[in-house]
Structure formats: structure tokens, C-alpha cells
Amino acid sequence: MISEDILEKAGLHFDEVNKLRVLKPDTNQQTSELKEECHEFVSKIDQFQKLVGSFIEMTDTIAKDVENEKMKAIGSRNMLKSIAKQRESQQQQLKALIAEKKTQLERLNVQHQSLRKQEAEQVEFIDQFSTS
Amino acid sequence: MKLKITIPKDKKHTETVTCVAWSSADEVISTGDDHKILKWNLVTGESFPLSTLPADVFPTDMSILPSQSKAGKNSSDVFVITSSDGKFHLFSNAGRIEKSVEAHKGAVLSGKWSKDGSALLTAGEDGQIKIWSRSGMLRSTLAQLPCCIYSVVWSPESDNVLYTNGKQLVIKPLQPSAKPLTWKAHDGIVLKVDWNSVNNLILSGGEDCKYKIWDSYGRPLYSSAIHDYPITSVSWSPDGNLFTVGSFNMLRLCDRSGWSHGLEKPTTGSVFNVAWSMDGTQVAAACADGHVMLAHCIEKRLEWCEFEVTLTGRKTIEVRNVVNDAHETLELRDRVIKMSLAFKHLVVVTSSQCLVYSTNNFNTPAIFDPRDGNISFIQQCEKHFLIVDHVGLYIYSYEGRQICSPKLPGGVRGSSLSIRTVSLSPDVLAVRDVKNDHSVMLYDANSGKLLGDGAPVVHTMEILTVHLSQCGPMSDRFLAIIDKNHDLYLTPVRKTSSNHRLPKLASMVQSLKWNSNVNILCGLRDMKLLVWFYPRALFLDKDILPQTLHERECSEFGKNPELCDFNENTVIVRRADGSICSISNMPYPAMLHRLVAADKWNEAVRLCRFAKLKSLWACLASMTLKEKDLATAEIAYAAIGEVDKVEYLKHIKSIPSKEVRTAEITLLSGSVNEAEAILIQGGFIYRAIQLNLDLFHWERALELAVKHKTHVDTVLGYRQVYLNQIHKQETSNKFKQYSKGVEINWQNIESKIEMELEKE
């Protein structure tokens, strides 16, 4: 036992299988346990970082999408607004064309009337012969 | 009629196109704010860059040297581009800058070559108008205004200049002493003006969104409705029948009287410049969004009797026979430039050929090559037709053979003639002299030479319209003239006596037309249609002329109507708003004309009795005078209640000698000189002397008596009786002289007269 104490003083220990060790067997065990735990911790942190990274990525894409959609929405809202104006101008153009056609119709109506009148006159003229 | 627009798919200009111009019949030059000058070939539809302007040159206006001035001069073609840096640039046809001239302070806004290409007119932001020589030397500064001049044009004769002055338009004569004519034209700033050389009308468009038409005295003829946007361009077609108006997203085709043929709404932005091709069928437009818009006129419609002809495409004509509803489509090789339908023939001029179709057979046209593609108009008559191009006049037969080409005096070009100032009949062609608008030249339509002694028909006033009667022999050919005062004059083509003032038929006549089948004349006087059933009555019996006139109230015509056609018994009138009215006319006068032409007097009398129309009887009366048919004349004059004339006709009938009868009838028509000539020619000296005595033409009677050494005493005797009756002394020296040597013995005289009458 004394030898053990001497060894201990010199900082040397024997473990269960009687191998000479610098550390105390239980310290050794604790150290290795700590080492393992550290490993575990590091890998967990790693995993966590990966997870967070992908999450950030995802939020980023979503943000981008949202931004896009937002722009689209604004665009279409503007489009909607301008379409009213566009329609108005189109309507104006069509109205001008309609007015044009109307004057043409009026012209043709006048011609038609004059032809009708002429026809009536000619019929009357023919009637003169049939009655006399 | 409307414009068919083609807009090239891709823009060739990257910026606003500001000006376009036609360099030949199928080539357009365009330039714009992108500093490119492009040349467009319309046949292939391609464009290629001609040249590039320096980066600091922004073009504002372009003008191509008129083609007619190039002939003879062996210089390269020149076009001018004015620019915003106050310069104008002369270009050769290849697109090289020949010369740049510092012209104005601020931008040059308008630049125009004169019609003969000898001078260039520019106007700028500094309010100055300058005239430059062909080579770019300053000749004169015409005006100096406190405001910008947006547009400036030459007058048709290049002796006046029209320019904008804010809301006003100004006509400034080139002579420094002459006063300019100024009038307020628009409610907004006037942006564009154009002046047509054929119809002499002015067109203006302004910021008040209206376009207006003015005559050369600044009187308003038409004002359009208000458009949505300012009018940015106006342009006359070369023949003056159409014009185009450009505005924001709009191109309008209008008739010369102002009404709109068609409206197009292309989305090309403002139309800054419109140019017509030389043949008047195509239009190029410069658009604000960088497009060069090309358009051509289609759907022109012609009607004649039962035929309707429509130009449906550039190269297709559709013919429809209304009576049997037969359709015919004529496919042509080239673009149609002009067509005309009348007298059973359709004449079509394309860019390379002239085709003459008979309405009986549309399959085999007579084809020939015209001299020049730039045709002003076609005029047809029964036997042949006239083509007027920019160089001269050509008469062709309907078989396509050239009959003749009358030469215009003094190198006048055909382009200055219009359909109103030229009239073709089967044997005579009448052309108003371009240099002297008081006279009308008459040509033999078969030889192309001047008629008779070549002296023109001269009038005291400016002549606006000429029209020849269309039927009958040469002796029936009459020329109707409307002058500046709108008075209608009638003259036979065969002159009876020279230096005679033209006889007036009516006043305030706006438009006239001869019937194409019989020699009936119709005219328009405000709201009234006038039809002269026998215009010749003016030369036969003036007193009954008003009775041969048929007036018809036509309030439906509105203001300024125009006679389009008078065929068979239908008069076609176009109102100022473009609508066409047709009016039927009584068929009797035409029938009467035909009967008389066939010498069927009994039938003619029967027709008049049937129709019971005073006007018809009056026609017959004057016709009998012309044909010297006394029996019928008596009936006709009796029917219209002209007792004195019936009596006189009875007296004529009792005369045994034929010549004297003829002379007396001529006398009834009022032509004393002619009657006297007939008598003298027939040897009836006594009658001739007596005629002058009856008319108190004492000196003439004495002259005849002395000349033929007979009845001097008779003349002196009657003169003495006359003087005694009115208690006057002899004043004529001649009579004093002869009365000395002659003794008056009434017994002698009476026996001599009796002897003369015996002799007949």
C-alpha cells in the first residue's frame, strides 16, 4: 500500500489491469467521458448549425418569393388602374370611328332617300301612261 | 374611299420620325431624331440606311427638289433637311451632305423648294422668313416677326408665300411693295399649312384641334369639328381632290370640300408629317414612335349607268352590273393609279400600263403604255379619251391608239391643268389657257391642232370652269364657261363673228354639266337646279329662252353642292358634306331632241301636245327656228302664246324667195348682221337696205345703196321723212353730201320698190 502511496506521490498509478498510468484511473475515466461528451456536443452543434443554415436559406427564398409576389401584385394593381385608362382611350378611338361611320351612314341615307324619291317620281311618270 | 395602312413590324428608327418625303414614285426618304436617313422601297417593302446625320443635327423638315426642274439640268438630285441647330443641309441623292448653311437663330422649322426648284424658302424660330438660291445663297429676308413661324409654303405660281403667325395666316407677295393679306385662322396656334397648286385652296391645322380650308383670298370654305388632339400635319394630294390630316394616333383622309372619306386610328403616336406620292395614290407618314407609316387609297368607287366599279385592293378592281348582278374581278399586274368609267368604257391606268375595257366585255382590254406614270386625270367622251399627265395631253381612241397630243402654248405643263379647266368632246378639246386665265384654247380633237384660225375664246373675266356639249355634229358644239363672278356664258365653238362679247346665259351659277346624251345643260344656283332644255335658244330666240329653262327647288342640297354627272335623265349632285343625291329629270326634252335630230317634226309636235308643257313647246319653237321649219314653228309659237311671232312667221311664209325667208328667220333670231349677209349674198340689195332702214341704221343703208348704186334716193327719202317726224335737222355729213345730188321723187321710189318686190 505504501508503494502505492509512493507511486501516487510520484504521480503514477496503476489501473485495474495494472498498467502504469500518469493519471488517476477515475480522473482518466472522467476525462475520457468528458472527451466523448465534448465530441457529442460539437457534432450536435454542427447539426444545429446546418439546420439553422437551411432554415435561413428557406426564409430567404420565401422572402424573395414574397417580394416577387408583392411586386407582381403592385404591378397588376397598377395595370388594373391603367387598363381603365386604356379602355377609356380605346373607347374614345372607337367612338371616333363610330362617329365616322355614322356620318357615312348619314351620307348613304341621304343618297338612299334621293334614290327613293327618284323612284317614286319615275313610278308616277309610268303611272301617267297607264292611266291615260 | 379610305386609306389602307401598312405599318412595318419593327421600327427602323429608334427615335421620333420627324419628316418623310417621296424621292420617286415608289421610294420614300425618312429621317428623325435618331440622326438616321432611311430610304424605303415600297415595291419590295424594304428599307436601307441612306446616310447618317451628325449627332448634333436634329431634323425638322425635309423637301425634295421637284422632279420637273431636274430635266435638262444634269445635276444630281438635291433634297434639303432643315434642323434644330439653325442650319439647313443640302443633300445629294446619294445621301451625302453637299452643303450646310447657317440660316436662322434657333431652329429652322420649315423649308420648302419652290415649284420650279429655283428657290428655297425657310422659316425659323427667330420669326424670319428667308429665300435662298438653289445653291444656298441668301437672296432675301421676306418677313421678320416677333414669334416663331411653324410652317411656310409657296403659292401655286411661286409668287406669294403663305406662313403662320401665331393664330393668324399671312399671304405675303414676293413683290416688296405689295401688301400682305392677314387673317385670323384658328383659335390656337397654327401648326401646319399647305397650298394646292391645282385647286388653289389653302389647308391649315392648328392647336385648336381643327383643320380648315380657305380659298386664296383667305375666305373660309370649311372648318372641321374639334378633334381630340392638335392637328400636327396636313397635306394636299397633288391633284387637289383629297388631303390627309394627321394628329395623335390619327390619320384622316378627306375630300377637297372638307368632309372625311375615312379615319384611321393607328397607335403610332403623333403623325408629324404626311407626304403624298406624285401620282396621288400613296401616303407616307412620320410617326412619333419611330414608325414610318405607309398607306394607299383604296375603295374608290365609280358609277355609270348600270355599272359599279370599285377599287378593292391596290391591284384589284371589282365590277358589278347592278341590273343582272354580274360580278367581275379584274386583277392587274401593277398598282392602279387612276380609273375612269363613262361612255361604255372603263379606262384604268396602272403604274406601267393603260388598260381600256369595254363594258360589254371585261376580258380583253386594249392595252398600251402611257408616256408617263404621273397622271393628273382622265377625261372621256363618246369617241375617245384624254389622258393628262405631268408633261402634256394625249388623246387616245378606245382601241388604245394615240390619236394626237395637243401642244400647250408656252411650254405649260399638264400638271397645272385640272378637270374643270379642260373639256373634251368628240371633235373639240377646250383648254383654259394656263398663262392667261381669261381665254380658252380650242383644239381639233382629231388632229391636235388649234381649231380654225387658232384664236382663243376670250372673256373679260377669269374663267373657272369650261365644259363642251357632248353630242351632235360640230355645228352643235357649244362651250359653256363659268367665270369668277359665277356667270354662265355660252358660245358656239365655230365662231360666227370675231370680237364678239360672249353671250351670257345666267348668273350666279356654281357648277354646270352638259348631258352626255343630248345637248341639255344643267347648272346649280343656290338651292336650285337649273336645266336648260335647249341652251341654243340663246342664239335663236332670246325672248323664249327663259321658257326653255326648268328650275327645280332643291333645298335638300344645302350649301355649295357640286354637279357630278348628268347622264340620260339623271342628275347626280354631291352635297358639301359628301352625300350624293340623284334627281331625275323629265325625259321629254331628250325625246324631243332625238325626234328633231331625226327630222320627225310631226312626232315632235305630238310629243309636245301629249306632255302639255310650255317649256317643251318653247324648245320646239326654237328648234324649228334653227331647222327653219316654218309650219311647225307656227304651231309651237302659237302654243306658247307668242302672237307677234306667229304673225311674223305668217308674213315670212308669204315671201316667195327662199333666201329672203332664210334671212327673215335669221332676223327673228336677232342676228341682224347675219341676215344682212344672207340678203346681200343672195343679191337682194333692196331687202338689205330696207332691213337697215327698218332698224334706223341709216348710215349702213346709205353705204349699201351707194356701194351697189341703187336706191340711194329711197334711203334719202326715208331719212327725210324720219327727220321731219322727229323735227330734227340733218346732222350726218354723208347724208348732206348725197342729198345734194339726188332728187327725191316718192312716185319714183314707190314704183322702184314695187318693181323689186315683183322681181322676187
* pLDDT of amino acid B67: 67
The 10s digit of each residue's pLDDT in B208-229 is 999 999 999 999 999 999 998 9
* pLDDT of amino acid A116: 93
* pLDDT of amino acid B278: 85
Q: Name the residue range of residue A76's domain.
A: 4-131
Q: Does the CB of B577 have a partner CB in chain A at under 8 Å?
A: yes
Q: Does the CB of A107 have a partner CB in chain B at under 8 Å?
A: yes
The 10s digit of each residue's pLDDT in B34-67 is 888 998 988 887 888 888 888 888 999 999 887 6
The 10s digit of each residue's pLDDT in B236-268 is 998 888 999 999 989 999 998 889 988 988 888
Cβ contact, residue pair B265, A97, below 8 Å: yes
The mean predicted confidence, pLDDT, of chain B is 87
- Phi and psi angles of residue B251, each rounded to the nearest 5 degrees, phi first: -140, 125
Q: Does the CB of A120 have a partner CB in chain B at under 8 Å?
A: no
The 10s digit of each residue's pLDDT in B347-388 is 999 888 899 999 988 888 999 988 776 788 899 998 899 998
3-state secondary structure of B523: strand
Q: Does the CB of B263 have a partner CB in chain A at under 8 Å?
A: yes
Cβ contact, residue pair A118, B249, below 8 Å: no
Give the distance between the most distant pair of CA atoms in chain A.
171
> Which of A106, A109, A118 is the best substitution to test chain B (most B C-beta atoms within 10 A)?
A118
Give the CA dihedral B388, B389, B390, B392, nearest 10 degrees.
Answer: -60
* pLDDT of amino acid B346: 93
* pLDDT of amino acid B498: 54
Higher pLDDT, A128 or B188: B188
Within 10 angstroms of residue B661's Cβ, the number of other Cβ atoms is 17
Cβ contact, residue pair A96, B263, below 8 Å: yes
Q: Does the CB of A122 have a partner CB in chain B at under 8 Å?
A: yes
Nearest to B580 among A100, A111, A117 (CB): A111
Q: Does the CB of A97 have a partner CB in chain B at under 8 Å?
A: yes
Question: If pLDDT is split at 50, 70 and 90, which confidence band does A61 have?
Answer: very high
Q: Which domains does chain B have, with CATH numbers?
A: 2-298 (2.130.10.10), 680-760 (no CATH)
Q: Say how far apart CA B565 and CA B303 lie, in whole Å.
A: 10
Cβ contact, residue pair B581, A100, below 8 Å: no
Write out chain A residues lying below 8 Å of B581, CB-based: 110-111, 114
* pLDDT of amino acid B318: 93
Q: Say how far apart CA B304 and CA B175 lie, in whole Å.
A: 48
Higher pLDDT, B496 or B93: B93
Write out chain B residues lying below 8 Å of A121, CB-based: 584
Q: Which residue of A has its CA nearest to B261?
A: A104
- Phi and psi angles of residue B726, each rounded to the nearest 5 degrees, phi first: -100, 10
Q: Say how far apart CA B168 and CA B727 lie, in whole Å.
A: 68
Q: Say how far apart CA B431 and CA B469 lie, in whole Å.
A: 14
Write out chain B residues lying below 8 Å of A93, CB-based: 249, 265
Nearest to B581 among A93, A100, A110 (CB): A110
Min Cα distance B342 → chain A (Å) is 20
Write out chain B residues lying below 8 Å of A98, CB-based: none
Q: Say how far apart CA B396 and CA B379 lie, in whole Å.
A: 11
On the question of pLDDT at B582 being above 50, the answer is: yes
Min Cα distance A106 → chain B (Å) is 8
Q: Say how far apart CA B209 and CA B140 lie, in whole Å.
A: 34
Mean pLDDT of B530-555: 86
The 10s digit of each residue's pLDDT in B648-706 is 888 888 887 788 888 888 888 777 778 888 888 877 888 888 888 888 888 888 888 88
Question: If pLDDT is split at 50, 70 and 90, which confidence band does B71 have?
Answer: very low
Question: If pLDDT is split at 50, 70 and 90, which confidence band does B560 have?
Answer: confident
* pLDDT of amino acid B223: 93
Q: Which residue of A has its CA nearest to B557?
A: A110
* pLDDT of amino acid B73: 45
Nearest to B260 among A92, A100, A118 (CB): A100
Give the CA dihedral B507, B513, B517, B518, nearest 10 degrees.
Answer: 10
Q: Does the CB of A91 have a partner CB in chain B at under 8 Å?
A: no
Question: If pLDDT is split at 50, 70 and 90, which confidence band does B495 have?
Answer: low
Q: What does the block give as the cell for B123?
A: 422659316
> Which of A92, A97, A100 is the best substitution to test chain B (most B C-beta atoms within 10 A)?
A100
Cβ contact, residue pair B579, A106, below 8 Å: yes
Nearest to A114 among B250, B259, B581 (CB): B581
Higher pLDDT, B559 or B481: B481
* pLDDT of amino acid B448: 86
Helix locations, B79-176, DSSP H: none
* pLDDT of amino acid B69: 47
3-state secondary structure of B558: coil
Min Cα distance B221 → chain A (Å) is 19
* pLDDT of amino acid B713: 79
Write out chain B residues lying below 8 Å of A111, CB-based: 579-582
The 10s digit of each residue's pLDDT in B443-453 is 888 888 888 77
Q: Does the CB of A106 have a partner CB in chain B at under 8 Å?
A: yes
CB B372 within 8 A of CB B278: no
Query: Could you tell me the pTM of the whole model?
Result: 0.82
Write out chain B residues lying below 8 Å of A115, CB-based: 582
Contacts of B696-704 with CB under 8 Å at 24 or more apart are: B696/B722, B698/B722, B698/B732, B698/B735, B699/B732, B699/B734, B702/B734, B702/B735, B702/B738, B704/B680
CB pairs below 8 Å between A and B: how many? Answer: 46
Nearest to B579 among A93, A100, A111 (CB): A111
Q: Which residue of B has its CA nearest to A119?
A: B584
Mean pLDDT of B318-342: 91
Write out chain A residues lying below 8 Å of B2, CB-based: none
On the question of pLDDT at B496 being above 70, the answer is: no
On the question of pLDDT at B303 being above 50, the answer is: yes
How many independent structural domains does chain A possess? 1
> Which of A114, A118, A121, A126 is the best substitution to test chain B (most B C-beta atoms within 10 A)?
A114
CB B714 within 8 A of CB B756: no
Cβ contact, residue pair B556, A110, below 8 Å: yes
The 10s digit of each residue's pLDDT in A4-17 is 777 777 777 777 78
The 10s digit of each residue's pLDDT in B141-198 is 988 889 899 999 999 888 899 999 989 999 999 888 889 999 999 999 999 999 998 8
Q: What does the block give as the cell for B260?
A: 372625311
Strand partners, B78: B92
Q: Does the CB of B265 have a partner CB in chain A at under 8 Å?
A: yes
On the question of pLDDT at B756 being above 80, the answer is: no
Question: If pLDDT is split at 50, 70 and 90, which confidence band does B77 have?
Answer: low
